[in-house]
Amino acid sequence: MPIRLYALGLLCPVIILGGCELFEPPPPLEDPVAVRLDELERRLAALERVLASGSLIDLTVQMDELQRQTSELRGRTESLEYNSEGTLSRQRDLYGDLDERIQYLERNLQAPTAATVASVAPSAGELPVPGGSDRENYEAAFELLKQQRYTEAGAAFQQFLATFPNSQLADNAQYWLAEAYYVTDQFEVALGQFQIVVTEYPRSRKIPDAYLKIGYSNYELQRWDDARTALMRVRDDYSDSTAARLADQRLKRMLDEGH
């Protein structure tokens, strides 16, 4: 029993000391102002080291040099642009002068033009421009049509087709020949001529217009079913064309008229 008391007496100081260590109060918190000052001092010291090493000075010098080179290049670019504009302006002036001279020579050529030929009616069986190309004669005949000289234009287009049957302008010439009859109220003849366009020149760009005028001609001849058939074909087969819109308008007119 005394031994136990003796051992317990030895352990008590140890337990007390251990408990004191377990309940040791926490260290005091650092002052945030002091922490901020320490950070600023570290940053200032770092900047001083950079300045002392000369690296920041080198960067500043390099930046100034780059700015100087940029300004120099910008100046050269502006100078080049100015010189380029001046060169282009001179070239335009020279071109304009040359173009005026060429036009003057063209106007004074002795070869007859479509307009001058169209001022004189071609003789029967003759081309508007005897010895001229297919395009020259086509333009001369078309000029007569624009002048509303329909009889002369029709004769000119007929002679054109007889002389240049394989011309790339033959389909157009055939269409305008038919038009010359249509505008003079010769609807039966015009109908036959428009039908030649669709049968002889099936790939012509004048096909929608030719079908439209076939419908119009039949309308004037009071052939309502034939007119409706032609107009519906234009409306349905060439829906994106101007001829299709005109055909639709005529179909509505026929409906309103009870045909």
Residues near 226 by beta carbon (within 8 Å), at least 6 away in sequence:
215, 218
Query: Are 62 and 131 within one domain?
Result: no
| Cα separation, 10 vs 3, whole angstroms | 11
Percentage of the residues of the chain whose pLDDT score is greater than 90: 49
Query: Are 177 and 79 within one domain?
Result: no
Look at the pTM and tell me if it is higher than 0.75: no
Query: Are 122 and 246 within one domain?
Result: yes
| Cα separation, 255 vs 259, whole angstroms | 6
Range with the poorest average pLDDT among 11-20, 65-74, 139-148, 202-211: 11-20
CB 210 within 8 A of CB 175: yes
CA atoms within 13 A on the CB side of 154: 14
Query: Are 101 and 176 within one domain?
Result: no
Query: Are 103 and 119 within one domain?
Result: no
Residue 157 has pLDDT above 60, yes or no: yes
CB atoms within 10 A of CB 59: 11
Residue 92 has pLDDT above 60, yes or no: no
CB 156 within 8 A of CB 172: no
Confirm whether 39 is domain-assigned.
no
Confirm whether 64 is domain-assigned.
yes
Categorize the per-residue pLDDT at 23 as very low, low, confident or very high, splitting at 50, 70 and 90: very low
Q: Which two tokens stand for residue 28?
A: 């005091």
Residue 146 has pLDDT above 50, yes or no: yes
Confirm whether 180 is domain-assigned.
yes
Q: Which two tokens stand for residue 174?
A: 């055939």
Confirm whether 128 is domain-assigned.
yes
pLDDT of residue 37: 63
- Name residue 180's amino acid: A
pLDDT of residue 126: 78
115 vs 168: which has the higher pLDDT: 168
| Cα separation, 49 vs 253, whole angstroms | 96
Residue 14 has pLDDT above 60, yes or no: no
| Cα separation, 158 vs 148, whole angstroms | 16
Mean pLDDT of 205-228: 97
Residues near 167 by beta carbon (within 8 Å), at least 6 away in sequence:
134, 138, 160, 173
**Residue after which a domain boundary falls, among 88, 109, 130:** 109
Residue 160 has pLDDT above 70, yes or no: yes
Categorize the per-residue pLDDT at 5 as very low, low, confident or very high, splitting at 50, 70 and 90: very low
CA atoms within 13 A on the CB side of 246: 13
| Cα separation, 152 vs 174, whole angstroms | 15
- The count of domains in the chain is 2
| Cα separation, 117 vs 144, whole angstroms | 9
Residue 198 has pLDDT above 60, yes or no: yes
pLDDT of residue 59: 53
CB 112 within 8 A of CB 137: no
Nearest CA among 222, 236, 231 for reference residue 250: 231
Confirm whether 183 is domain-assigned.
yes
Domain boundaries, position 95? 46-109
